[in-house]
Structure 1
Amino acid sequence: MISFVLHALERGLQVMRNNSRLLLVGVLLFVFPLLFIWVTQNFSETAYNNIDSSEKKRVSILHDSLSFTLSVSKNPDELMPVLIDGYIKENSDISKIRVVTKRDNQFEIVYASNRDLIGTTEKTDQLYRTLPLDSSEGSYIFESIIDDVRTWQVFRGVNVDDTKYYIFSEHKFGVIDGLMASRLQQSYYGLTAIFFFLISLAYWLNKQTEWQKNTRKLAVQLEERDMFSNMIAHEFRSPLTAIKGYASFLEESKTMQKEELRFAGNIKKSADRLVTLVNDFLEVARLQSGKLTIDKKEVEINAVLQSVVDDLQVMAVEKNLQLTFIEPKSKILVNTDSSRMIQVMTNIISNAIKYTDSGKVEIECQKIPGELTIIVKDTGMGISAEDQQKLFAPFIRVGGVDSTSTTGTGLGMWITRQLVELLNGKIGVESIKGVGTHVVISFRI
């Protein structure tokens, strides 16, 4: 049994070491409320003790003043009623004040807050008979509960010129106790609110721990998936490159028939499409993992754009399109990665050619102080306002075209946007459905 308990404790400590937030949750749920209760109780007890001490001093002063007036005053019949009325008026807790003297073995009331009682005798006189008459002994306080109210009945004996006097006052602390009870109740209401807040906070911390655990698990799974995808993509690219090469050899063969050459051409085109797909996936993987490197240096942007236009002229001619680069009057030098800039412009211009059936595609380069703007204009089918919102989303093709008739992965514009942002640029689109599209790229220079 002991070994089982020790093993359970060891496992519990191990869990708490591995999940430090559980310890925080335990502190929040148990230590803080218990500490709050302890502090509240101590504060309440201290407050009651201070009030009790203060009230005893006040009662003692009351009896001292009445005793002194009886002992010293030459005309107590005038001063005593004034003193008694003043104390009753200024102290809401004093309910009764009486001064009693012993005459003919009875205790007669000579001064009282209730004038109707003056001249009458006390009905219960047992306490008066047992009290000493030495005022140096101070006042005697008898605590009791009367009508559910904490009450003090205070007595003091005074001997003046062989006349025995007894000073009696009654103090009810219902107001003070009610106020303290109200404050204590408010404290516990506050504690309840804090406790519910701590429960909510503990629940949130527990959930956050679960979320972090799941996030770490998902991160590992995503990393494994990316590694697997990269491996598959690399493994695909090598045989696809070989297939593409063999298809090119077959196309150049002089012994093959026309139909066979057509088959070889189809094989090469399909291999090209698959190589493009694999390259796009690898590019996405590098972008998402942050492993894509940018090598910036001073580049003449005119030459870069002219090179891209020259490479894509064949594609434009096949569709009977006019592809034009409106070269600026002066050379423009930009600090950028030339290979990534070529990749960006190739994606954008080839897209413009792909989605333009007739007309032209123009590339314009403008330089203003601090900014370079490249605009690719086409007279194609245009892009609707709705499609413009998702133009740069992955695996999305816009323009209302049939996905079976237009090749591509739908990753080109997403990759383009990521590359532009890595080059500290911005990309946007202006288009009217059925009129054409302007793709605008701007870089700080």
Structure 2
Amino acid sequence: MSMQSPWLILVAGLLGVFVGMIAMIAFRYSEKSQTEVPERTEPELADDIIRVLAVVRSAVIVLGPGDVVLRASPAAYALGMVRGEYLVHDQVREVVEQVRATGEIVDEELELQRGSQRDLVIVGVRVAYLTNEVVVIFAEDHTQARRIEQIRQDFSVNVSHELKTPVGAISLLAETLESAANDPEAVRRFAGKTKQEAVRLAALVHDLIELSRLQSASALMDVRLVEVDDVIAQAAEDVRVIAQGREQDITLPEASTWRVYGDEALLVAAIRNLLTNASAYSPKNSSIQIALSRKDGMVGIEVLDHGIGLSEQDQERIFERFYRSDPARARDTGGTGLGLSIVKHIAQDHGGQITVWSAPGQGSTFTLWIPESQEESDSHHNDIENEEGNRSA
């Protein structure tokens, strides 16, 4: 018995150590199991739902538990609403939270910052709860529609204001004429002012009609091959009397053979408006130059003045309807505030554009760019070939 006792003690000790190790391993495993996050199984979308979402024209975002993005269309990324697997904007997340709480469909129009950029977009969102904690967001970009609506509202307000001024003046002058019937000198003076306001009103109505016509699908009524020199000469002749009254000279460019396709009457109107604008904002005893240039298949008709010039802010808005960089001068000259807007639409209707360079106190240069006719390019090429042939002969 005494000989077996040490062996029993050793076996018991080894058994205790083994049991302790097993207990420690079990404890560590239990602790690890409690701290590990169970793998998330994302809800699966039915095939028919995926097919429907694929053909929807709106931007689409499908959210799972925790508002994790399960699926997002390219338009959603373009609007800057999704980054990685999560929504970008707190406003959208708040709407989603409301839908999850109530289960009802919610429609909202939100003003969102586009990603990390500064520009804002107006987005109409429709959020609905599907099933299995899945929420779907449909988004439409309303930015352009709201901008057009604002332009229309501003246009209506401006037209009402601009028409009210000459109409009110004519009405007041008519009453004054009636009361001054026995004073021939007063009658002549007020009749002259009445005529001036009537001319201003007629010019405004004409420009409004012209601008409305230019925005229609059939703005170009008589498209044909137009000689650039003829257009410039006609426009300069139309404005020459006004310029001479302000002691201003109009200098024409050297003769060219350049031609463009377009409506000659509209092109003359565009250059005439540029010349009239240059005359109105230039001092007496100054000159207005017209120059020609070519670039990338476009003919540039440049109108240069030595007037008051434009600030950078004015240059950004100068082609807006009724915008005037100097309202007081515009009233004195009878400008309608629509001339440069008309020029912009004429350029666009001809597939061209209008650009401006200016600086305060250094004058302005407006350039009307119109695509050069292919016939002119071919003719120029043929002239070169004929000249080379004559030299070789």
TM range (shorter): 0.5 to 0.7
Residue 174 of structure 1 corresponds to 27
Q: How does 1:413-424 map onto structure 2 within 5 Å?
A: 413-424=340-351
Deviation at 1:429, TM superposition (A): 2.6
| Alignment partners' CA distance in 1, 2:279 and 2:358 | 15
| Alignment partners' CA distance in 2, 1:299 and 1:444 | 11
With over 3 angstroms needed to count, the CA separation of the structure-2 counterparts of 1:345 and 1:397, relative to structure 1, is same
Deviation at 1:282, TM superposition (A): 4.5
| Alignment partners' CA distance in 1, 2:247 and 2:337 | 24
Residue 440 of structure 1 corresponds to 367
With over 3 angstroms needed to count, the CA separation of the structure-2 counterparts of 1:292 and 1:401, relative to structure 1, is farther
Residue 261 of structure 2 corresponds to 335
Residue 272 of structure 2 corresponds to 346
Residue 184 of structure 1 corresponds to 37
Residue 426 of structure 1 contacts residue 442 of structure 1 at CA under 8 Å; is this kept in 2? yes
| Alignment partners' CA distance in 2, 1:400 and 1:276 | 17
| Alignment partners' CA distance in 1, 2:302 and 2:149 | 41
Q: Secondary structure at the match of 1:115?
A: helix
With over 3 angstroms needed to count, the CA separation of the structure-2 counterparts of 1:363 and 1:192, relative to structure 1, is closer
Picking from 3, 7, 14, the partner of 1:115 is 14
Residue 383 of structure 1 contacts residue 399 of structure 1 at CA under 8 Å; is this kept in 2? no
Q: Secondary structure at the match of 2:335?
A: coil
With over 3 angstroms needed to count, the CA separation of the structure-2 counterparts of 1:306 and 1:264, relative to structure 1, is same
Deviation at 1:332, TM superposition (A): 1.6
Residue 226 of structure 1 contacts residue 285 of structure 1 at CA under 8 Å; is this kept in 2? no
Residue 287 of structure 2 corresponds to 360
Letter in 1 for 2:253: I
With over 3 angstroms needed to count, the CA separation of the structure-2 counterparts of 1:176 and 1:409, relative to structure 1, is farther
- 1:271 lines up with 2:145 in the alignment: no
Letter in 2 for 1:294: L
Q: Kindly report the root-mean-square deviation, in angstroms, between the aligned alpha carbons of the 2 structures.
A: 5.0
Residue 371 of structure 1 corresponds to 298
- 1:194 lines up with 2:93 in the alignment: no
- Superimposed CA distance per residue, residues 405-439 of structure 1 (whole angstroms, 9 cap, x where no aligned partner): 34323332233224323322232233354443322
With over 3 angstroms needed to count, the CA separation of the structure-2 counterparts of 1:293 and 1:179, relative to structure 1, is farther
With over 3 angstroms needed to count, the CA separation of the structure-2 counterparts of 1:114 and 1:442, relative to structure 1, is farther
Q: How does 1:279-290 map onto structure 2 within 5 Å?
A: 279-283=206-210
With over 3 angstroms needed to count, the CA separation of the structure-2 counterparts of 1:407 and 1:430, relative to structure 1, is same
Deviation at 1:219, TM superposition (A): 9.1
Q: Give the structure with the higher percent helix.
A: 1
Letter in 2 for 1:302: D
Q: How does 1:3-14 map onto structure 2 within 5 Å?
A: none
- Return 5+ residue gaps in structure 1 as ranges: 1-107, 119-150, 152-168, 248-255
With over 3 angstroms needed to count, the CA separation of the structure-2 counterparts of 1:437 and 1:271, relative to structure 1, is same
Letter in 2 for 1:181: Q
Q: Secondary structure at the match of 2:261?
A: strand
Residue 8 of structure 1 corresponds to none
- Return 5+ residue gaps in structure 2 as ranges: 1-6, 42-63, 70-84, 97-105, 111-122, 126-139, 175-182, 373-393
Q: How does 1:28-67 map onto structure 2 within 5 Å?
A: none
Higher Cα radius of gyration: 1
Deviation at 1:375, TM superposition (A): 1.2
Residue 356 of structure 2 corresponds to 429
Letter in 1 for 2:36: R
Residue 293 of structure 1 corresponds to 219
Q: Secondary structure at the match of 1:364?
A: strand
Q: Secondary structure at the match of 1:361?
A: strand
Deviation at 1:338, TM superposition (A): 2.2
Residue 18 of structure 1 corresponds to none
With over 3 angstroms needed to count, the CA separation of the structure-2 counterparts of 1:299 and 1:114, relative to structure 1, is farther
Residue 299 of structure 1 contacts residue 333 of structure 1 at CA under 8 Å; is this kept in 2? yes
Residue 381 of structure 1 contacts residue 399 of structure 1 at CA under 8 Å; is this kept in 2? no
Deviation at 1:389, TM superposition (A): 4.2
| Alignment partners' CA distance in 2, 1:414 and 1:227 | 12
- Between the two proteins, what is the percent identity of the paired residues? 23
Q: How does 1:142-291 map onto structure 2 within 5 Å?
A: 173-184=26-37, 187=40, 192=66, 194=68, 201=92, 203=94, 206=106, 208=108, 212=124, 260-283=187-210
- Superimposed CA distance per residue, residues 100-122 of structure 1 (whole angstroms, 9 cap, x where no aligned partner): xxxxxxxx97995842769xxxx
Picking from 322, 325, 333, the partner of 1:395 is 322
> Structure 2 length as normaliser, TM-score?
0.52
| Alignment partners' CA distance in 2, 1:202 and 1:376 | 54
| Alignment partners' CA distance in 1, 2:27 and 2:67 | 28
| Alignment partners' CA distance in 1, 2:358 and 2:227 | 29
> Structure 1 length as normaliser, TM-score?
0.47
Letter in 2 for 1:354: A
With over 3 angstroms needed to count, the CA separation of the structure-2 counterparts of 1:399 and 1:273, relative to structure 1, is closer
When structure 1 is superposed on structure 2, of 175-184 and 337-346 the one drifting more is 175-184
